[in-house]
Amino acid sequence: MPTASAPGKFILFGEHAVVYGKPAIAIAIDLRTEVKAERSSSFRLDGRAISEIRSFYIREMVRRWRGGPLSMEIRAHVPPSSGLGSSAALTVSMLGALHSFKSPAEKENIAREAFEVEYTVQGGASPTDTSTSTLGGAVYISEKKEENFRWEIRKNGKSWKVHSLSIPNMSFVVGVTGAHSSTRDMVERVRRVVRRSPFGKDVVDEIGSIVMEGKRALEKGDLVRLGELMNENHELLSLLGVSCTDIERLIRPIKDRVYGAKLTGAGGGGSVIALTDKAEEVRRILEERGKSAYIVNIDKDGLIIK
């Protein structure tokens, strides 16, 4: 039975602005989703008929699939709707499992198709989440081709160049607020701000500059500057209207124990990411105030098909 698995991710810098073609840096984490698939007389998912499945991502993948009915099982370890790339991990692993019934799947092709699925379901997306889940490790998205270029994804006049990025050893803690948000709604909220005011566009440009400075700080291993930039990126995301009380309630009590902290992903709930060398202490504080908290390790593999 073909089995594929793919990791979740967090965005270190650049969420939302990357939808407008600005750069971003994301890191795949050691929380995975696994999909097993086998031929069947009708489409089934965890024993249920596909008509009972509410996930738009799954419906969209099944709609596109031309290879006959399959029975699939999903084991998801990425918390859902929490800014940690659960939909990308699901989309990439399911496409990996589906493609293994056809020709050997190139990672690049899976990443492209996964992006199209997210774009359709979310009504707009960048390839950050899906390419990070496919490649694993740290991923840098930019307008220009640079060192360790992997592939380019274009859509509606925008071009995102996807690169692998080597980063120093760092300790990150994720705090999950437990408040769920829809990426589609948050992307739409930012779109309204950017369309209506020059201020919105300036904020997006400013986030782009922070990503570039963040990349330089990563290259130097300058954790202090990285933390400051994470805090600045968070302030700018708040100005775009994607932070909320649940997020601020997690950030406040850890401020003096971390290099930096910010919301990660679409916002409006979801998760907070903190860079710290007091990981266990920060994890405990976040867990007391949120739903759950993890000390996350970097996933180096991305999509694995067995």
Q: Which helix (H) or strand (E) holds 86?
A: helix 86-99
The three-point CA angle 187-283-270 to 5° equals 15
Name the residue nearer to ligand MEV (CB basis): 48 or 154: 154
Show the binding pattern over residues 18-47: x = contacts ligand MEV (CB under 6 A), - = does not: xx----------------------------
Name the residue nearer to ligand MEV (CB basis): 100 or 182: 182
**Region of 28-36, 121-129, 276-284, 291-299 interacting with ligand MEV (CB under 6 A):** 121-129
Distance of CA 129 to the CA centre of its chain: 4
**Bridge partners, 261 (sequence order):** 274
Does 204 contact ligand MEV by CB under 6 A? no
What tokens appear for 212 in the block? 């570039």
Name the residue nearer to ligand MEV (CB basis): 30 or 73: 30
- Give counts: helices (H), strands (E), the chain: 9, 13
Amino acid at 85: G
3-class DSSP assignment, residue 261: strand
Gap between the Cα atoms of 236 and 207, Å rounded: 7
Q: Of 70, 230, 266, 285, which lies in the binding site for ligand MEV, with binding defined by CB under 6 A?
A: 266
Terminus-to-terminus CA distance in the chain, angstroms?
9
Name the residue nearer to ligand MEV (CB basis): 50 or 244: 244
Identify the DSSP state of 21. Answer: T
Show the binding pattern over residues 171-200: x = contacts ligand MEV (CB under 6 A), - = does not: ------------x---x-------------
Residue 46 annotated as catalytic: no
- Active-site pick, 129, 277, 299, 301: 129
Contact 40, 70 (CB under 8 A): yes
**Region of 15-23, 99-107, 229-237, 248-256 interacting with ligand MEV (CB under 6 A):** 15-23
**Region of 10-18, 30-38, 60-68, 194-202 interacting with ligand MEV (CB under 6 A):** 10-18
Taking phi over 0 as left and psi of -120 to 50 as alpha, with beta for the rest, 302 belongs to left
> To the nearest whole angstrom, how small is the minimum distance from the Cβ of residue 212 to ligand MEV?
17
φ/ψ of residue 180, rounded to 5? -90, 150
Amino acid at 235: E
Does 117 contact ligand MEV by CB under 6 A? no
**Region of 38-46, 98-106, 123-131, 170-178 interacting with ligand MEV (CB under 6 A):** 123-131
Cβ count within 10 A of residue 74: 17
> To the nearest whole angstrom, how small is the minimum distance from the Cβ of residue 104 to ligand MEV?
27
Give the C-alpha distances (Å, rounded to integers) separating 192 from 10, 186, 240.
24, 10, 10
Name the residue nearer to ligand MEV (CB basis): 186 or 303: 186
Does 125 contact ligand MEV by CB under 6 A? yes
The three-point CA angle 264-188-19 to 5° equals 60
> To the nearest whole angstrom, how small is the minimum distance from the Cβ of residue 12 to ligand MEV?
12
Name the residue nearer to ligand MEV (CB basis): 32 or 44: 32
Q: Of 23, 208, 227, 265, which lies in the binding site for ligand MEV, with binding defined by CB under 6 A?
A: 265
What is the set of active-site residues? 129
